[in-house]
Structure 1
Protein backbone atom coordinates (compact mmCIF):
# COMPACT_ATOMS: atom_id res chain seq x y z
CA UNK A 1 0.00 0.00 0.00
CA UNK A 2 1.33 3.40 -0.94
CA UNK A 3 0.45 6.72 0.67
CA UNK A 4 0.05 8.80 -2.45
CA UNK A 5 0.04 12.56 -1.89
CA UNK A 6 3.58 13.24 -3.13
CA UNK A 7 3.06 16.98 -3.60
CA UNK A 8 2.21 17.16 0.13
CA UNK A 9 4.97 14.71 1.14
CA UNK A 10 2.15 12.26 1.84
CA UNK A 11 0.73 14.39 4.64
CA UNK A 12 -2.20 12.59 6.23
CA UNK A 13 -5.47 14.45 5.72
CA UNK A 14 -8.96 13.17 6.45
CA UNK A 15 -9.57 11.47 3.06
CA UNK A 16 -6.24 9.65 3.30
CA UNK A 17 -7.04 8.44 6.83
CA UNK A 18 -10.33 6.99 5.65
CA UNK A 19 -8.88 5.45 2.50
CA UNK A 20 -5.97 3.89 4.38
CA UNK A 21 -8.21 2.47 7.09
CA UNK A 22 -10.54 0.96 4.50
CA UNK A 23 -7.64 -0.53 2.52
CA UNK A 24 -6.06 -2.03 5.64
CA UNK A 25 -9.35 -3.48 6.86
CA UNK A 26 -9.99 -5.03 3.45
CA UNK A 27 -6.51 -6.54 3.26
CA UNK A 28 -6.81 -7.96 6.77
CA UNK A 29 -9.85 -10.00 5.69
CA UNK A 30 -8.53 -10.98 2.24
CA UNK A 31 -7.40 -14.63 2.33
CA UNK A 32 -4.98 -13.97 -0.53
CA UNK A 33 -3.00 -11.49 1.61
CA UNK A 34 -0.39 -12.79 4.03
CA UNK A 35 1.61 -9.62 4.78
CA UNK A 36 1.05 -5.91 4.14
CA UNK A 37 3.84 -3.51 3.14
CA UNK A 38 3.14 0.17 3.74
CA UNK A 39 5.21 2.85 2.01
CA UNK A 40 4.97 6.38 0.61
CA UNK A 41 5.13 7.86 -2.87
CA UNK A 42 7.74 10.30 -4.11
CA UNK A 43 10.65 9.12 -2.00
CA UNK A 44 9.19 9.92 1.40
CA UNK A 45 7.01 8.06 3.89
CA UNK A 46 4.86 10.78 5.43
CA UNK A 47 5.46 14.31 6.72
CA UNK A 48 2.70 13.79 9.29
CA UNK A 49 -0.71 15.33 9.67
CA UNK A 50 -1.68 17.79 6.95
CA UNK A 51 -1.34 21.09 8.80
CA UNK A 52 -2.92 22.97 5.88
CA UNK A 53 -6.21 21.27 6.77
CA UNK A 54 -5.99 22.09 10.49
CA UNK A 55 -7.50 25.02 12.35
CA UNK A 56 -8.54 25.89 15.86
CA UNK A 57 -11.93 24.39 16.62
CA UNK A 58 -14.02 22.92 19.40
CA UNK A 59 -13.00 19.52 20.74
CA UNK A 60 -16.24 17.95 19.50
CA UNK A 61 -15.33 18.90 15.92
CA UNK A 62 -11.83 17.43 16.21
CA UNK A 63 -12.90 14.10 17.67
CA UNK A 64 -13.98 12.53 14.31
CA UNK A 65 -10.62 13.47 12.80
CA UNK A 66 -8.72 11.89 15.69
CA UNK A 67 -10.94 8.81 15.62
CA UNK A 68 -10.28 8.38 11.90
CA UNK A 69 -6.55 8.32 12.66
CA UNK A 70 -7.07 5.75 15.39
CA UNK A 71 -9.12 3.60 13.03
CA UNK A 72 -5.98 3.18 10.92
CA UNK A 73 -3.96 2.05 13.94
CA UNK A 74 -6.69 -0.29 15.15
CA UNK A 75 -6.70 -1.92 11.72
CA UNK A 76 -2.96 -2.53 12.00
CA UNK A 77 -2.99 -3.74 15.60
CA UNK A 78 -6.20 -5.74 15.61
CA UNK A 79 -5.81 -7.29 12.17
CA UNK A 80 -4.20 -10.73 11.85
CA UNK A 81 -1.70 -9.86 9.09
CA UNK A 82 1.79 -8.49 9.86
CA UNK A 83 2.43 -4.98 8.53
CA UNK A 84 5.88 -3.85 7.37
CA UNK A 85 6.65 -0.12 7.03
CA UNK A 86 9.12 0.83 4.28
CA UNK A 87 10.40 4.28 5.24
CA UNK A 88 12.30 6.53 2.84
CA UNK A 89 12.65 10.26 3.38
CA UNK A 90 10.61 11.83 6.16
CA UNK A 91 8.52 10.18 8.85
CA UNK A 92 7.38 13.06 11.03
CA UNK A 93 4.63 13.34 13.64
CA UNK A 94 1.70 11.17 12.61
CA UNK A 95 3.89 9.69 9.87
CA UNK A 96 6.40 8.50 12.45
CA UNK A 97 3.60 7.17 14.65
CA UNK A 98 2.16 5.28 11.68
CA UNK A 99 5.52 3.63 11.01
CA UNK A 100 6.08 2.76 14.68
CA UNK A 101 2.64 1.13 14.83
CA UNK A 102 3.71 -1.42 12.22
CA UNK A 103 5.08 -4.85 13.11
CA UNK A 104 8.37 -4.21 11.32
CA UNK A 105 10.06 -0.99 10.20
CA UNK A 106 12.61 -0.99 7.40
CA UNK A 107 14.24 2.42 7.00
CA UNK A 108 16.69 4.04 4.63
CA UNK A 109 19.95 4.93 6.31
CA UNK A 110 19.29 8.58 5.47
CA UNK A 111 15.59 8.59 6.39
CA UNK A 112 14.54 11.17 8.98
CA UNK A 113 12.29 10.38 11.94
CA UNK A 114 10.85 12.88 14.43
CA UNK A 115 7.86 12.86 16.76
CA UNK A 116 7.39 16.57 15.91
CA UNK A 117 3.89 16.92 17.42
CA UNK A 118 4.82 19.60 19.95
CA UNK A 119 6.00 21.87 17.13
CA UNK A 120 2.37 22.69 16.40
CA UNK A 121 1.17 22.55 20.00
CA UNK A 122 -0.06 18.95 19.96
CA UNK A 123 0.87 15.94 22.06
CA UNK A 124 0.54 13.05 19.63
CA UNK A 125 -1.88 10.43 18.34
CA UNK A 126 -2.01 7.41 16.02
CA UNK A 127 -1.01 5.16 18.89
CA UNK A 128 2.34 6.79 19.59
CA UNK A 129 1.86 6.64 23.38
CA UNK A 130 1.72 2.84 23.08
CA UNK A 131 4.01 2.11 20.12
CA UNK A 132 6.89 4.39 21.08
CA UNK A 133 7.44 3.04 24.63
CA UNK A 134 6.93 -0.49 23.31
CA UNK A 135 9.89 0.09 21.01
CA UNK A 136 12.30 2.10 23.14
CA UNK A 137 11.02 1.96 26.72
CA UNK A 138 9.00 4.49 28.68
CA UNK A 139 11.89 6.74 29.73
CA UNK A 140 13.36 7.10 26.23
CA UNK A 141 9.89 7.55 24.71
CA UNK A 142 9.14 10.38 27.13
CA UNK A 143 12.32 12.21 26.11
CA UNK A 144 11.67 11.73 22.39
CA UNK A 145 8.24 13.32 22.89
CA UNK A 146 9.35 16.15 25.21
CA UNK A 147 12.43 17.04 23.18
CA UNK A 148 11.71 16.02 19.58
CA UNK A 149 14.84 15.62 17.52
CA UNK A 150 15.53 14.42 14.04
CA UNK A 151 16.95 10.93 13.87
CA UNK A 152 18.46 9.28 10.82
CA UNK A 153 17.41 5.80 9.83
CA UNK A 154 20.66 4.46 11.27
CA UNK A 155 20.08 6.29 14.57
CA UNK A 156 16.50 5.03 14.63
CA UNK A 157 17.79 1.49 14.20
CA UNK A 158 20.24 1.93 17.08
CA UNK A 159 17.41 3.12 19.35
CA UNK A 160 14.98 0.37 18.28
CA UNK A 161 12.64 2.67 16.36
CA UNK A 162 13.53 0.85 13.14
CA UNK A 163 14.17 -2.87 12.85
CA UNK A 164 16.35 -2.85 9.75
CA UNK A 165 18.15 -0.31 7.58
CA UNK A 166 18.79 -0.35 3.85
CA UNK A 167 20.52 1.91 1.38
CA UNK A 168 18.43 4.77 -0.07
CA UNK A 169 16.31 3.51 -2.93
CA UNK A 170 16.51 -0.09 -1.72
CA UNK A 171 14.05 0.11 1.17
CA UNK A 172 10.93 -1.11 -0.60
CA UNK A 173 12.80 -4.05 -2.12
CA UNK A 174 14.13 -4.98 1.33
CA UNK A 175 10.68 -4.63 2.90
CA UNK A 176 9.11 -6.77 0.18
CA UNK A 177 11.75 -9.44 0.71
CA UNK A 178 11.08 -9.38 4.45
CA UNK A 179 7.37 -9.63 3.73
CA UNK A 180 7.98 -12.61 1.45
CA UNK A 181 9.98 -14.32 4.18
CA UNK A 182 7.29 -13.62 6.79
CA UNK A 183 4.56 -14.79 4.43
CA UNK A 184 6.12 -18.25 4.36
CA UNK A 185 5.25 -18.59 8.04
CA UNK A 186 2.05 -20.11 9.47
CA UNK A 187 -0.71 -17.46 9.21
CA UNK A 188 -2.59 -18.59 12.32
CA UNK A 189 0.56 -18.50 14.44
CA UNK A 190 1.53 -15.09 13.07
CA UNK A 191 -1.93 -13.79 13.92
CA UNK A 192 -1.54 -15.24 17.40
CA UNK A 193 1.82 -13.52 17.87
CA UNK A 194 0.26 -10.19 16.88
CA UNK A 195 -2.64 -10.72 19.26
CA UNK A 196 -0.29 -11.54 22.14
CA UNK A 197 1.80 -8.42 21.67
CA UNK A 198 -1.03 -6.04 20.76
CA UNK A 199 -3.58 -7.18 23.32
CA UNK A 200 -4.50 -5.35 26.49
CA UNK A 201 -1.72 -5.21 29.11
CA UNK A 202 -1.92 -8.09 31.54
CA UNK A 203 0.02 -9.56 34.42
CA UNK A 204 2.73 -12.18 33.88
CA UNK A 205 0.37 -14.85 35.25
CA UNK A 206 -2.36 -13.79 32.81
CA UNK A 207 0.18 -13.89 29.99
CA UNK A 208 0.95 -17.50 30.84
CA UNK A 209 -2.75 -18.36 30.56
CA UNK A 210 -3.04 -16.58 27.23
CA UNK A 211 -0.01 -18.51 25.97
CA UNK A 212 -1.65 -21.79 26.98
CA UNK A 213 -4.87 -20.88 25.17
CA UNK A 214 -3.03 -19.85 22.01
CA UNK A 215 -0.75 -22.87 21.94
CA UNK A 216 -3.66 -25.25 22.56
CA UNK A 217 -5.59 -23.77 19.62
CA UNK A 218 -2.58 -23.95 17.30
CA UNK A 219 -1.90 -27.61 18.10
CA UNK A 220 -5.27 -28.43 16.51
CA UNK A 221 -4.54 -26.94 13.07
CA UNK A 222 -3.51 -28.24 9.66
CA UNK A 223 -0.55 -25.86 9.77
CA UNK A 224 0.84 -27.51 12.91
CA UNK A 225 0.45 -30.97 11.37
CA UNK A 226 2.14 -29.72 8.20
CA UNK A 227 4.99 -28.20 10.19
CA UNK A 228 5.65 -31.46 12.04
CA UNK A 229 5.48 -33.49 8.82
CA UNK A 230 7.81 -31.09 7.03
CA UNK A 231 10.30 -31.26 9.90
CA UNK A 232 10.26 -35.06 9.88
CA UNK A 233 10.58 -35.15 6.09
CA UNK A 234 13.31 -32.49 6.05
CA UNK A 235 11.47 -30.19 3.66
CA UNK A 236 10.12 -26.66 3.74
CA UNK A 237 6.57 -26.50 5.15
CA UNK A 238 3.68 -25.10 3.10
CA UNK A 239 1.31 -23.32 5.47
CA UNK A 240 -2.23 -22.36 4.46
CA UNK A 241 -3.75 -20.84 7.57
CA UNK A 242 -6.03 -23.77 8.40
Structure 2
Protein backbone atom coordinates (compact mmCIF):
# COMPACT_ATOMS: atom_id res chain seq x y z
CA UNK A 1 0.00 0.00 0.00
CA UNK A 2 1.27 3.47 -0.92
CA UNK A 3 2.35 5.78 1.87
CA UNK A 4 -0.29 8.47 2.59
CA UNK A 5 0.63 11.93 1.32
CA UNK A 6 -0.72 13.50 4.51
CA UNK A 7 -0.36 12.33 8.11
CA UNK A 8 -2.80 13.35 10.84
CA UNK A 9 -2.28 13.19 14.60
CA UNK A 10 -3.80 14.87 17.64
CA UNK A 11 -2.08 16.46 20.59
CA UNK A 12 -4.70 17.46 23.11
CA UNK A 13 -7.02 19.91 21.29
CA UNK A 14 -4.54 20.51 18.46
CA UNK A 15 -4.52 18.56 15.21
CA UNK A 16 -1.18 18.20 13.46
CA UNK A 17 -1.42 17.76 9.69
CA UNK A 18 1.88 16.80 8.08
CA UNK A 19 2.73 16.89 4.39
CA UNK A 20 4.30 13.47 3.88
CA UNK A 21 6.29 13.36 0.66
CA UNK A 22 9.80 13.87 2.08
CA UNK A 23 11.38 12.13 -0.93
CA UNK A 24 10.04 15.05 -3.02
CA UNK A 25 10.59 17.67 -0.29
CA UNK A 26 6.81 17.61 0.19
CA UNK A 27 6.14 18.92 -3.30
CA UNK A 28 2.42 19.10 -3.98
CA UNK A 29 0.99 16.62 -6.47
CA UNK A 30 -2.71 15.98 -7.07
CA UNK A 31 -2.98 13.25 -4.45
CA UNK A 32 -1.50 15.50 -1.77
CA UNK A 33 -3.88 18.32 -2.70
CA UNK A 34 -6.89 16.05 -2.26
CA UNK A 35 -5.67 14.44 0.97
CA UNK A 36 -4.66 17.79 2.47
CA UNK A 37 -8.00 19.40 1.68
CA UNK A 38 -9.84 16.44 3.17
CA UNK A 39 -7.70 16.54 6.33
CA UNK A 40 -8.29 20.27 6.79
CA UNK A 41 -12.02 19.95 6.18
CA UNK A 42 -12.23 17.06 8.64
CA UNK A 43 -10.41 19.09 11.30
CA UNK A 44 -12.82 21.98 10.72
CA UNK A 45 -15.78 19.71 11.46
CA UNK A 46 -14.28 17.87 14.44
CA UNK A 47 -15.57 19.45 17.65
CA UNK A 48 -12.63 18.08 19.63
CA UNK A 49 -10.16 20.09 17.53
CA UNK A 50 -9.60 23.74 18.40
CA UNK A 51 -6.40 24.52 16.49
CA UNK A 52 -4.70 23.02 13.43
CA UNK A 53 -0.92 22.92 12.97
CA UNK A 54 0.33 22.39 9.43
CA UNK A 55 3.89 21.15 8.88
CA UNK A 56 6.06 19.00 6.62
CA UNK A 57 7.92 15.72 7.07
CA UNK A 58 11.65 15.27 6.65
CA UNK A 59 12.78 18.72 7.77
CA UNK A 60 11.11 20.59 4.88
CA UNK A 61 7.79 22.41 4.82
CA UNK A 62 6.94 22.38 1.10
CA UNK A 63 9.06 22.86 -2.02
CA UNK A 64 6.05 23.94 -4.10
CA UNK A 65 4.16 22.16 -6.84
CA UNK A 66 5.61 18.85 -7.99
CA UNK A 67 7.10 19.82 -11.34
CA UNK A 68 7.74 16.17 -12.17
CA UNK A 69 3.96 15.77 -12.55
CA UNK A 70 3.51 18.89 -14.68
CA UNK A 71 3.24 19.25 -18.45
CA UNK A 72 1.60 21.60 -20.89
CA UNK A 73 -2.16 21.06 -20.68
CA UNK A 74 -5.42 22.60 -21.83
CA UNK A 75 -8.27 23.85 -19.64
CA UNK A 76 -9.88 20.42 -19.32
CA UNK A 77 -6.83 19.30 -17.33
CA UNK A 78 -5.51 22.51 -15.79
CA UNK A 79 -8.74 23.88 -14.29
CA UNK A 80 -9.53 20.80 -12.13
CA UNK A 81 -5.87 20.69 -11.08
CA UNK A 82 -5.89 24.36 -10.05
CA UNK A 83 -9.27 24.02 -8.34
CA UNK A 84 -7.93 21.13 -6.26
CA UNK A 85 -5.19 23.45 -5.00
CA UNK A 86 -7.68 26.22 -4.24
CA UNK A 87 -9.79 23.78 -2.23
CA UNK A 88 -6.88 23.55 0.23
CA UNK A 89 -6.75 27.32 0.69
CA UNK A 90 -10.51 27.61 1.06
CA UNK A 91 -10.36 24.95 3.75
CA UNK A 92 -7.83 27.04 5.68
CA UNK A 93 -9.57 30.38 5.21
CA UNK A 94 -13.11 29.19 5.92
CA UNK A 95 -12.26 26.87 8.80
CA UNK A 96 -13.56 28.05 12.18
CA UNK A 97 -10.28 26.76 13.65
CA UNK A 98 -7.05 28.81 13.53
CA UNK A 99 -4.36 27.20 11.38
CA UNK A 100 -0.68 27.60 12.29
CA UNK A 101 2.11 26.82 9.82
CA UNK A 102 5.27 25.29 11.31
CA UNK A 103 7.97 25.82 8.70
CA UNK A 104 11.31 24.03 8.63
CA UNK A 105 13.66 23.99 5.66
CA UNK A 106 12.20 25.49 2.51
CA UNK A 107 8.85 27.00 1.56
CA UNK A 108 8.96 27.66 -2.17
CA UNK A 109 6.22 28.47 -4.67
CA UNK A 110 2.99 26.90 -3.45
CA UNK A 111 4.77 26.31 -0.14
CA UNK A 112 4.83 30.08 0.39
CA UNK A 113 1.17 30.28 -0.62
CA UNK A 114 0.31 27.53 1.85
CA UNK A 115 2.16 29.14 4.74
CA UNK A 116 0.88 32.64 4.00
CA UNK A 117 -2.71 31.39 3.94
CA UNK A 118 -2.41 30.30 7.56
CA UNK A 119 -3.40 32.45 10.54
CA UNK A 120 0.07 32.23 12.07
CA UNK A 121 3.48 31.28 10.67
CA UNK A 122 6.20 29.93 12.95
CA UNK A 123 9.46 29.27 11.13
CA UNK A 124 12.84 27.81 11.92
CA UNK A 125 15.53 30.47 11.92
CA UNK A 126 17.16 28.46 9.12
CA UNK A 127 14.05 28.33 6.91
CA UNK A 128 14.10 29.86 3.41
CA UNK A 129 11.16 31.32 1.48
CA UNK A 130 10.69 32.13 -2.22
CA UNK A 131 7.59 32.60 -4.40
CA UNK A 132 9.45 30.90 -7.31
CA UNK A 133 6.39 30.54 -9.61
CA UNK A 134 7.88 32.52 -12.50
CA UNK A 135 10.72 30.00 -12.74
CA UNK A 136 8.34 27.63 -14.53
CA UNK A 137 6.24 30.26 -16.29
CA UNK A 138 3.41 30.50 -13.78
CA UNK A 139 1.99 33.43 -11.80
CA UNK A 140 0.95 31.76 -8.54
CA UNK A 141 -2.11 30.32 -6.87
CA UNK A 142 -3.42 28.92 -3.58
CA UNK A 143 -4.45 32.42 -2.55
CA UNK A 144 -1.06 34.06 -3.00
CA UNK A 145 -2.56 37.19 -4.55
CA UNK A 146 -4.62 37.77 -1.42
CA UNK A 147 -2.59 36.34 1.46
CA UNK A 148 0.83 37.68 0.50
CA UNK A 149 -0.29 41.34 0.10
CA UNK A 150 -2.29 41.01 3.32
CA UNK A 151 0.89 39.97 5.14
CA UNK A 152 3.61 42.12 3.59
CA UNK A 153 1.70 44.89 1.80
CA UNK A 154 0.89 45.16 -1.93
CA UNK A 155 4.14 46.85 -2.98
CA UNK A 156 6.40 44.32 -1.26
CA UNK A 157 4.26 41.43 -2.51
CA UNK A 158 4.73 42.61 -6.08
CA UNK A 159 8.49 42.67 -5.67
CA UNK A 160 8.59 39.24 -4.06
CA UNK A 161 6.62 37.82 -6.99
CA UNK A 162 8.37 39.71 -9.78
CA UNK A 163 11.85 39.13 -8.33
CA UNK A 164 11.47 35.85 -6.43
CA UNK A 165 14.66 35.96 -4.38
CA UNK A 166 15.28 33.54 -1.56
CA UNK A 167 14.34 35.10 1.76
CA UNK A 168 16.01 34.05 4.97
CA UNK A 169 13.60 33.47 7.83
CA UNK A 170 14.71 36.61 9.67
CA UNK A 171 14.08 38.72 6.56
CA UNK A 172 10.71 37.05 6.06
CA UNK A 173 9.80 37.92 9.63
CA UNK A 174 10.86 41.52 9.15
CA UNK A 175 8.56 41.76 6.12
CA UNK A 176 5.64 40.14 7.96
CA UNK A 177 5.56 36.82 6.12
CA UNK A 178 6.69 35.03 9.31
CA UNK A 179 5.21 35.80 12.73
CA UNK A 180 7.74 34.07 15.00
CA UNK A 181 11.13 32.41 14.70
CA UNK A 182 12.22 29.23 16.45
CA UNK A 183 15.58 27.46 16.63
CA UNK A 184 16.19 24.94 13.85
CA UNK A 185 14.19 21.78 14.44
CA UNK A 186 11.85 23.43 16.95
CA UNK A 187 9.25 25.13 14.73
CA UNK A 188 6.66 22.43 15.34
CA UNK A 189 7.18 22.48 19.12
CA UNK A 190 6.84 26.26 19.17
CA UNK A 191 3.73 26.11 16.99
CA UNK A 192 2.18 23.52 19.30
CA UNK A 193 2.92 25.71 22.32
CA UNK A 194 1.12 28.58 20.57
CA UNK A 195 -1.71 26.22 19.64
CA UNK A 196 -2.15 25.26 23.30
CA UNK A 197 -2.57 28.93 24.23
CA UNK A 198 -5.10 29.49 21.45
CA UNK A 199 -6.94 26.28 22.32
CA UNK A 200 -7.54 27.70 25.79
CA UNK A 201 -9.29 30.74 24.29
CA UNK A 202 -13.10 30.75 24.01
CA UNK A 203 -13.92 28.66 20.91
CA UNK A 204 -16.97 30.69 19.94
CA UNK A 205 -14.99 33.94 20.06
CA UNK A 206 -12.23 32.40 17.95
CA UNK A 207 -14.81 31.15 15.45
CA UNK A 208 -16.22 34.68 15.14
CA UNK A 209 -12.70 36.08 14.65
CA UNK A 210 -12.08 33.74 11.72
CA UNK A 211 -15.41 34.66 10.17
CA UNK A 212 -14.86 38.40 10.60
CA UNK A 213 -11.34 38.25 9.17
CA UNK A 214 -12.87 37.03 5.92
CA UNK A 215 -14.99 40.20 5.66
CA UNK A 216 -12.12 42.44 6.74
CA UNK A 217 -10.07 41.02 3.85
CA UNK A 218 -12.86 41.88 1.35
CA UNK A 219 -13.89 38.30 0.63
CA UNK A 220 -10.46 36.93 -0.38
CA UNK A 221 -11.93 33.66 -1.62
CA UNK A 222 -12.99 35.50 -4.79
CA UNK A 223 -9.33 35.76 -5.81
CA UNK A 224 -9.12 31.95 -5.87
CA UNK A 225 -11.38 31.76 -8.93
CA UNK A 226 -9.35 34.44 -10.69
CA UNK A 227 -6.15 32.52 -9.94
CA UNK A 228 -7.66 29.36 -11.46
CA UNK A 229 -8.39 31.20 -14.71
CA UNK A 230 -4.87 32.65 -14.85
CA UNK A 231 -3.23 29.31 -14.10
CA UNK A 232 -5.35 27.60 -16.78
CA UNK A 233 -4.16 30.08 -19.39
CA UNK A 234 -0.53 29.70 -18.31
CA UNK A 235 -0.56 25.90 -18.14
CA UNK A 236 -1.39 25.92 -21.85
CA UNK A 237 1.49 28.21 -22.79
CA UNK A 238 4.80 27.51 -24.51
CA UNK A 239 6.54 29.38 -21.70
CA UNK A 240 5.19 26.95 -19.11
CA UNK A 241 6.31 23.98 -21.22
CA UNK A 242 9.75 25.59 -21.50
CA UNK A 243 9.90 26.19 -17.75
CA UNK A 244 9.19 22.54 -16.99
CA UNK A 245 11.63 21.31 -19.64
CA UNK A 246 14.36 23.62 -18.32
CA UNK A 247 13.74 22.44 -14.77
CA UNK A 248 14.24 18.81 -15.76
CA UNK A 249 17.29 19.70 -17.87
CA UNK A 250 18.75 21.76 -15.02
CA UNK A 251 19.26 24.78 -17.25
CA UNK A 252 17.93 28.36 -17.16
CA UNK A 253 14.59 28.69 -18.97
CA UNK A 254 14.26 30.91 -22.03
CA UNK A 255 10.79 32.45 -22.09
CA UNK A 256 9.38 33.90 -25.31
CA UNK A 257 5.90 35.06 -24.30
CA UNK A 258 4.04 32.37 -26.29
Alignment of 1:92-241 (within 5 A): 92-199=108-215, 201-202=217-218
Q: Aligned pair 1:82/2:82, yes or no?
A: no
Match of 1:49 in 2: 65
- Deviation for aligned residue 1:197: 1.3
TM-score of the pair, normalised by structure 2: 0.77
| Secondary structure of 1:162's aligned partner | coil
Post-superposition Cα deviations, 1:149-180, rounded to whole Å, max 9, x if no partner, equal 10111111111000000010111100000000
CA RMSD of aligned residues (A): 0.9
Once the two structures are TM-superposed, the CA of residue 201 in structure 1 deviates from its matched residue by 4.7
Q: Could you tell me how far 1:198 is from its partner in structure 2?
A: 2.0
| Cα distance per residue 1:120-145 (max 9 Å; x no partner) | 00000000000000001111101111
Is the partner of 1:199 in helix, strand or coil? helix
Question: Cα distance, 1:200 vs. partner?
Answer: 6.8
1:188 Cα deviation after fit: 1.1
CA distance, structure 2, for counterparts of residue 197 and residue 89 of structure 1: 29
1:91 aligns with 2:107: yes
**Structure with higher RCO (Cα < 8 A, 6+ apart):** 2
Distance in 2, matches of 1:201 and 1:183, equals 24
Task: Choose from 75, 83, 96 the match for 1:67.
Answer: 83
Any idea what the Cα deviations from partners look like across 1:179-221, whole Å, max 9, x if unmatched?
001100011111111111123755xxxxxxxxxxxxxxxxxxx
1:62-83 CA distances to partner (integer Å, 9 max, x unpaired)?
A: 0001000000000000010000
Of 54, 58, 61, 1:38 maps to 54
Over residues 8-42 of structure 1, what are the superposed CA-to-partner deviations in whole Å (9 max), with x where a residue is unaligned? 00000000000000000000000000000000000
Q: Between Structure 1 and Structure 2, whose CA radius of gyration is higher?
A: 1
**Residue 243 of structure 2 corresponds to which residue in structure 1?**
none
Distance in 2 separating the partners of 1:198 and 1:39: 23
Give distance in 1, aligned partners of 2:176 and 2:202.
26
Aligned-partner Cα distance in 2 for 1:195–1:113: 28
Structure 2 unmatched runs, 5+: 1-16, 219-258
Task: Point out the more displaced range, 54-63 or 192-201.
Answer: 192-201
Gaps of 5+ in 1: 203-242
Counting matched residue pairs gives 202
